[in-house]
Amino acid sequence: MSKKPNNAEKVINENENKQGEFEKNLTIRTPTKGRRSSSIKGAAGAMDERQDSEFDQPLPGCFQKVSKITNDKIDENLAKIPYFHGFLLHEYQPMILKTFGDFLIRVSIRYPKKAGKTSREKTVNSNKGKKSKEKSKEQSNDGSIRFNVIIGVCIKDQDKDKVDHLDETKHEIIDVPMTIEQNIDGKWIHFYIDKKKKFGSIEELTDYYRHYTGFYRDKKFSLYKGIPMTSWELDRTHVEIGTKTLGEGAFGEVKSGTWKCTNSDSRETNTPLPVAIKMLKGEESKVAMKEMMHEARLQLCLRHKNVLKTYGVCILKTPFMIISEFCENGALREYLKKNKVDIEDKLRFCLGSARGVDYLHGKCLIHRDLAARNVLLNDAKVPKIADFGLARYGNSYKMSSVQKTPIRYLAPETLQSYKFTQKTDVYTFGLVMWEIFENGQEPYVKPQQHMESIVPKNGTIRVGHLKEVMKNDLWIKFNSETPPTLQTFIAEKVFVYDEKKRVTMIEVVALLKTLVRKDQSYLKDTMATQTVG
């Protein structure tokens, strides 16, 4: 007498039938124990005879794992996938993947490690030492940059120790590497996470793991929803690079250009918008890529009249780009050097810049690189704080290692302990105002007369001199053109050794507002007197 199946057996049978139906529409390549691999062919997903013959040949002779991904390969294989995010960094995935099963595909760059042996390697016994040397030699010989295609996926937090009993839906983001094999012609043929399950396309792979659970390093994942590019991940085909170079730095250059805007940032959809394009030289430096993405991420969160607006990044292919608003009048320092600027405009430049810094401080940001060169002027001469490469979130930041910093702009506490706070920004902004009233000259290049007891008359101020100048309260002085009220305010409340006695940017803005109103009132009275006369 046949046994009646229980409920559990029914579920198992249904799942097996479901998997059988699904695999009829998929092509999964399952290698055997020998050198040859067999194919499981479904009716809808059957491969042609040529592909079958390729699978019947030994893997090492036919196919090679993809380790270099060029722009052409991206165009050919990845760019049309709606959930492909180019060279997006791992740490930015949480901004995009929010729900269990959300996933994206990105390219990761693995840079060669520097060759060299540790002290431990030097003290191992001779046999192990030989193996260690051989291994080190092999690694050093492979000095090329390697590319990996990664599936970033949001999964349920599977660490029981971290799960909050009040929140059963905690998530984490994991990176699942996808292996790609190409034939001798360079055509991408196989895609897999588990080498026992090979697919003929990325779409087939993601579709399979949409229906069935995958495993990677003891983590379970499912690919339920591919998340498309966000509004700040821009289509490079909409960007036109101009011929004019606006600036140049260690990692790249800034060019003029246009961006064909297609989102809510522009009132006129598809209207080319003048932009500044900051381009990275290439994928040679992971540090450069991280710094660029760090800067872009900060600026994308900022929206203020006196802060440079960033529209987004182009990271689908190299070179990587940050697309920002174009400021026709360029850097404030150069504008001051080339043009005769009256007191009214100088006070306006001070007030606008101060408002921008005050806004940043309200967002818990420390700029760390305030200078007239990093303030830009648009066509209406509105000052905008720019260049966030050194900016950091938080109340304080301490440099852990020696970094290239503009010494002459550093606050006394930074010179002593390498510490940055919002109060160090206030000190540096005092120097920005000095630059404005000195028509773009840099501070502490040559000694002023009252500093000659510490610095030779025609000498150059160095770090040691600067520390002595500060300790003896011989701060840089403003010229006679500067309003006396502003001179006194900066001398007593900005250029002070004790950061606790230094004012905030809110107080700086308040004073500058008063001075601008007084200046405007004075101008009106003067014009009225001239008219009557």
Beta strands in 362-516 (DSSP E): 365-366, 375-377, 383-385, 392-393, 396-398, 419-421
Q: Give CA–CA dist 252/277, Å, rounded.
A: 10
For residue 370, what are its two tokens? 């305030």
Indicate the SS3 state at residue 209.
helix
Q: How far is CA 315 from CA 75, 175, 466, in A?
A: 13, 18, 42
Q: How far is CA 138 from CA 60, 68, 131, 147, in A?
A: 20, 19, 11, 19
Rounded (10°) CA dihedral 278, 280, 281, 287 = 140
State residue 420 phi and psi, 5-degree precision.
-120, 140
**Which position has the token pair 């070179």?**
319
Candidate list 358, 369, 387, 425, residue with the active-site label:
369
Q: Give CA–CA dist 57/63, Å, rounded.
A: 9
Query: In terms of residues, how long is the chain?
Result: 533
Q: In terms of DSSP H, where are the helices of 301-421?
A: 332-338, 343-362, 412-417
* 298 contact partners, CB below 8 Å, separation of at least 6: 365, 388, 391, 393
Residue 130, annotated ligand binder?
no
DSSP 8-state code for residue 84? B
DSSP for 296-308, written as a single string? HHHHHT---TTB-
**What is the 3-state secondary structure of 234-291?**
CCHHHEEEEEEEEEECCCEEEEEEEEECCCCCCCCCCCEEEEEEEEECCCCCHHHHHH
H/E segment holding residue 189: strand 188-192
Backbone conformation region of residue 101, classed left if phi is above 0, alpha if psi is from -120 to 50, else beta: left
Q: Specify whether 142 is catalytic.
A: no
Q: Give CA–CA dist 140/179, Å, rounded.
A: 23
Residue 132 C-alpha from the chain's centroid = 37
For residue 230, what are its two tokens? 């966000």
Nearest to 197 by CA among 39, 404, 53, 79: 39
The distance between the two most distant Cα atoms of the chain, rounded to a whole number of Å, is: 122
Yes or no: say if 275 and 261 are a contact pair by the CB < 8 Å rule.
Answer: no
User: So which residues are the catalytic ones?
Assistant: 369
Residue ranges of the binding site for ATP: 278
